[in-house]
A and B are shown apart, each in its own frame.
Chain A
Amino acid sequence: MVPPNPPQLSSLPADQAVQALQSIPLGSSLGENLGLLRQVFARCSDLVVHQLAPGAGSAFAVIYIDGLIDQDLLDRDVVRPLLERGSPSAPMASVRSLTYVPETARVRTHGELVQRLVSGEAILLADGSPEGVAYGLQGWETRAISEPVAEAAIRGPRESFVETLRFNTAMLRRKLKSPGLKTEALTIGRVTRTDVVVAYLEGIADPGVIAEVHKRLQHIEIDGVLETGYLEEFLEDAPFSPFPQIQNTERPDTAAGQLLEGRVAILVDGTPVALIVPTVFAQFMQANEDYYERFLIASAVRMLRYLFLLVALLLPSLYVAVITFHHEMMPTSLLLSIAEAREGVPFPALVEAMAMEVTFEVLREAGIRLPKPVGQAVSIVGALVIGEAAVRAGLVSAPMVIVVAITGIASFAVPRYNAATAVRMLRFPLILLAGTLGMFGIVAGLSGILLHLCALRSFGVPYLSPMGPMDWQGLKDVLIRAPHWAMRLRPRLVGGQNRVRVGKGLAPGPPPRSGGGR
């Protein structure tokens, strides 16, 4: 039993050092074991080695990383029993029975020891035993479950995912009280060793998709995963597409809803954002509130969203095309008003539109990052400078300001932020096309976008389904949101395994009239 050469060990990169330690078994001498541990954790101020000597000749050491441990539990259930009843010659087996922690594991190698230590377990080593005990006593400060920030809703649950993976799986489990909810765990990231959970409903989710998710996840070799975004880029079918092919959500209710449709959720420790695959375009226009609000209202709002999706994508380019190429398309009086407003504006409409749109994007971007009090100042100055002064100075025409403002607001009507951003970015090439080729350019650009959308897949599911390959049942949740009792079947391409979700003939109505009485 030769301990490895310390300088050699510390010169290795962190992940390889752990690998090297994996093959080194624990020795029977507590001193030697601790010595190696101290080398590995050299210059780690948060390592705590708590040496105990309950009786003469007996020596224990409790090791943990400060801050990752529930200190009270450790004292009550491990340290105190040991001090009170630990005997000098107690074998390791009896030590295990002395303590009160249910989640224990044997540790036999240094590698395992280090791994468990950094995951927040407490390790008990005893002199004379080539085996340690790991206690799952993790406990650290966590953020409380709070209201969702990015996906606010008027009606619906107020909780959102948090940074702790366990809480997130628990939130899912609380909504889906079924053993069918599988939460398969993986670890990704050589350094970060991030816990990842693949959650799905067995019997509903497509096994092919589940296998594909596993395959793609296992394929990933990366040093660290700090957010689901790291995984998303490895999982996408078409990484260069402007359209997101994976939905993300911070709402457990949205995630649960998607699981019920047969989708797979990927939860990552350390972020309150879950990924949902496979994703189709229609999902980006569905807000979770659509399913909580009455269906007529939800349908009306849904249609409004589609309308404004088009506005957000097309309005500036249509405006530019019409006022630079197709003057005859406007009603005369509108043309005259616009002509009057544009009189004296020094820039071509194309330049004007691009400048204004870029300014708007900058304002939006600046508004997000700035601290709140400053952000307000920026928006006031931005609105004043652009809306008022530029028009007054005759640099920009008032109709253009209106167009940009409507477009900006329209893009926020898309419920998913990442989809809205994609649409906002796509309108720049469209404006360019409109300013150079007119309506022809817009149609060409739109055709290009449509072709791309038709070709796009998310985990094998066509992006435009249920419209792409037509699925009449699925259409009940695209432009409209049919009542829950009418959406009898799950989307064919996603939840094809087990399609029935609502029983037949459940449409409510007035009670049948009982004979005679009134």
Chain B
Amino acid sequence: MMARRVIALVLLPALLLAGCWDRLEINDLGIVTLVGIDRAEAGVRLTVGVVAPTSTPGQQEKGGGGGKGGGAQSGRAIAYSAEGATVVDAMTRLQEKVSRRLFWAHARVLVFGEEYARQGLTPALDFWTRHREPRLLLQVVVTPGEAAEFVQLQPRLERLLSEAVRETINLRFQTRVLLRDLVEDLRDSPGHAIAPRAELVPGQPDGRDVSISGTAIFRKDRLAGWLDDRETRGLLWLRNEAQTGTMTVDLPNVGSVSLNVIRGRTVVKPVLAGGRLRMNVALTVDLDVVESAALLDWSKEETLRKVEGSAERSLRERITGTLQKLQDEYGVDAVNFSEAVRRSLPGLWETRWKNRWDQVFPTLPVDLQVTAQIRRTGEHSAPLGVPENQVQKNQQKLLKQKE
């Protein structure tokens, strides 16, 4: 018993010896929030935004002005950049310039420069999925131009650019692609991917703002081209990812009506007709009237029907436009029709289409059916502050329109 106690006492400190090796005080961390990857002579150029914490509370925000260089403004991110043959090689060089241990677990956004993206993402992706620190929940964006320049931007509203990008994407007006989604897309046949496009745009008074608009379309892991804002909306509808948004319907001679999308649901169903594959796409949208520049009486059912019809046409146009661009110009199935086919016709998918989907997709006939319904018309039915006869006149014009 005594001997056992002695042994236990001798062994106890060993517990302490084993400890502490991973100990890292929070103020020795260089918290990376944003990572930019560009093409460089050596291989890759890595640009990171490292948070510069304030030394004492209450000393933040002295002197304004964002812009290049990312001066040592407290509480904001400072950009560092280094080149290397691989990501880790660049990272090692980067660490030589930063006095704190770079910490990747809180990186939120991965920005690819256009040039790098055109050359193929795969070499840069391995590290982010293999290393234990970065999360698979990184938001992936592609910027036209240099990622290095993008990372250096100091946003005006948010403290950190990564937050600005993330929050904007999370509003879900545009596509949202996490690293997890990206690697999944690339893995599955046919292996194409998309990513939101993040861009620097001129802002007031002399700074620049970040804007998330449009989508980067990848053929395999290489950037093939872009979809613009409008086409991206169409893409979102097709992918059943449009959760919110507004649409403005133009009624000729009457005016425009802006509608809020409350919910939308797209069902993609592949059908086999006479040995030929067709895609049935059924879209149902619930709408809310938020602005009626067209002076109409919303208490009348025919008004609703007319506007719903216009909304359906407008949606159809938009979606068809996107499809055309994808099928004719890029030949890339960014809509993930392949997934729908694989799910409902798994046997045929394996034998007939899996390996030649890129040839099938561009000529794939798509039947699109759009149903829009206006659920609410706002606080009043007839516009306020407008003479009744004018509303009547408009109403007449609307009803005279043909479908």
With a cutoff of 8 Å between Cβ atoms, the chain A residues found around residue B75 in the complex are 336, 340
**Bound Cα distance A328, B16 (Å):** 23
Partner of A339, one of B19, B51, B108: B51
Give the contacts of B13-30 with A (CB-CB under 8 A): 15-16, 18-20, 22-27, 29
With a cutoff of 8 Å between Cβ atoms, the chain B residues found around residue A398 in the complex are 57
**Bound Cα distance A57, B354 (Å):** 133
B137 CB, min distance to chain A CBs, angstroms? 11
B263 at the interface (CB under 8 A from A): no
Partner of B26, one of A338, A394, A436: A338
A65 at the interface (CB under 8 A from B): no
Q: Cβ of A438 and Cβ of B22 under 8 Å apart?
A: yes
A441's nearest neighbour on chain B, judged by CB, is: B19
Q: Cβ of B54 and Cβ of A348 under 8 Å apart?
A: no
User: What per-residue 1/0 map shows which CB atoms of A317-334 lie under 8 Å from chain B?
Assistant: 000000111011000110
* Given A339-B26, A438-B19: 16 more A-B contacts, CB < 8 Å: A323-B26, A332-B33, A332-B108, A335-B31, A336-B51, A338-B26, A341-B57, A343-B54, A343-B56, A344-B27, A344-B55, A345-B27, A348-B23, A349-B25, A394-B56, A437-B15
B128 at the interface (CB under 8 A from A): no
A427 at the interface (CB under 8 A from B): no
User: What per-residue 1/0 map shows which CB atoms of A335-364 lie under 8 Å from chain B?
Assistant: 110111111110011000000000000000
| Interface residue tally for chain B (C-beta within 8 Å) | 29
With a cutoff of 8 Å between Cβ atoms, the chain A residues found around residue B26 in the complex are 323-324, 327, 335, 338-339, 342, 349
A-B contact pairs, 29 of them (CB 8 A): A323-B25, A324-B25, A325-B22, A325-B24, A327-B24, A327-B29, A327-B31, A327-B106, A328-B135, A332-B108, A333-B163, A336-B75, A336-B160, A338-B26, A339-B31, A339-B53, A342-B26, A343-B56, A344-B55, A348-B23, A349-B26, A394-B56, A398-B57, A435-B23, A436-B19, A436-B20, A436-B23, A437-B15, A437-B18
B103 at the interface (CB under 8 A from A): yes
**Bound Cα distance A151, B22 (Å):** 45
B105 at the interface (CB under 8 A from A): yes
Q: Cβ of B103 and Cβ of A327 under 8 Å apart?
A: yes
Q: Cβ of B31 and Cβ of A336 under 8 Å apart?
A: yes
With a cutoff of 8 Å between Cβ atoms, the chain B residues found around residue A332 in the complex are 31, 33, 106, 108
Q: Please give me the 3 A-B residue pairs with the lowest Cβ-Cβ distance, nearest first.
A: A328-B105, A436-B19, A437-B19
Q: Cβ of B29 and Cβ of A340 under 8 Å apart?
A: no
A409 CB, min distance to chain B CBs, angstroms? 24
Q: Cβ of B106 and Cβ of A344 under 8 Å apart?
A: no
With a cutoff of 8 Å between Cβ atoms, the chain B residues found around residue A328 in the complex are 105-106, 133, 135
**Bound Cα distance A361, B24 (Å):** 27
B135's nearest neighbour on chain A, judged by CB, is: A328
Give the contacts of B51-94 with A (CB-CB under 8 A): 51, 53-57, 75
With a cutoff of 8 Å between Cβ atoms, the chain B residues found around residue A436 in the complex are 15-16, 19-20, 23
With a cutoff of 8 Å between Cβ atoms, the chain B residues found around residue A336 in the complex are 31, 51, 53, 75, 160
B23's nearest neighbour on chain A, judged by CB, is: A324
A348 in contact with B57 given A339-B31, A437-B19, A441-B19 (CB within 8 Å): no
> Chain B CB within 10 Å — which of A340, A343, A441 has the most?
A340
**Bound Cα distance A338, B31 (Å):** 12
With a cutoff of 8 Å between Cβ atoms, the chain B residues found around residue A335 in the complex are 26, 31, 106
A330 CB, min distance to chain B CBs, angstroms? 8
A365 CB, min distance to chain B CBs, angstroms? 28
**Bound Cα distance A394, B59 (Å):** 13
Q: Cβ of B29 and Cβ of A339 under 8 Å apart?
A: yes
**Bound Cα distance A494, B9 (Å):** 38
B166's nearest neighbour on chain A, judged by CB, is: A332
A325's nearest neighbour on chain B, judged by CB, is: B22
Give the contacts of B130-189 with A (CB-CB under 8 A): 133, 135, 160, 163
Partner of A340, one of B18, B20, B53, B160: B53
A333's nearest neighbour on chain B, judged by CB, is: B163
With a cutoff of 8 Å between Cβ atoms, the chain B residues found around residue A333 in the complex are 163
A244 CB, min distance to chain B CBs, angstroms? 25
**Bound Cα distance A328, B106 (Å):** 7
With a cutoff of 8 Å between Cβ atoms, the chain A residues found around residue B56 in the complex are 343-344, 394
A324's nearest neighbour on chain B, judged by CB, is: B23
Give the contacts of A236-273 with B (CB-CB under 8 A): none
Give the contacts of B291-305 with A (CB-CB under 8 A): none
**Bound Cα distance A327, B75 (Å):** 18
A106 CB, min distance to chain B CBs, angstroms? 55
**Bound Cα distance A398, B56 (Å):** 11
B229 CB, min distance to chain A CBs, angstroms? 29
**Bound Cα distance A167, B20 (Å):** 58
**Bound Cα distance A324, B26 (Å):** 6
A325 in contact with B23 given A336-B31, A336-B51 (CB within 8 Å): yes
With a cutoff of 8 Å between Cβ atoms, the chain B residues found around residue A340 in the complex are 53-54, 57, 75
User: What per-residue 1/0 map shows which CB atoms of B90-124 lie under 8 Å from chain A?
Assistant: 00000000000001011010000000000000000
With a cutoff of 8 Å between Cβ atoms, the chain B residues found around residue A348 in the complex are 23, 25
With a cutoff of 8 Å between Cβ atoms, the chain A residues found around residue B19 in the complex are 436-438, 441
A452 CB, min distance to chain B CBs, angstroms? 15
Partner of B55, one of A325, A343, A437: A343
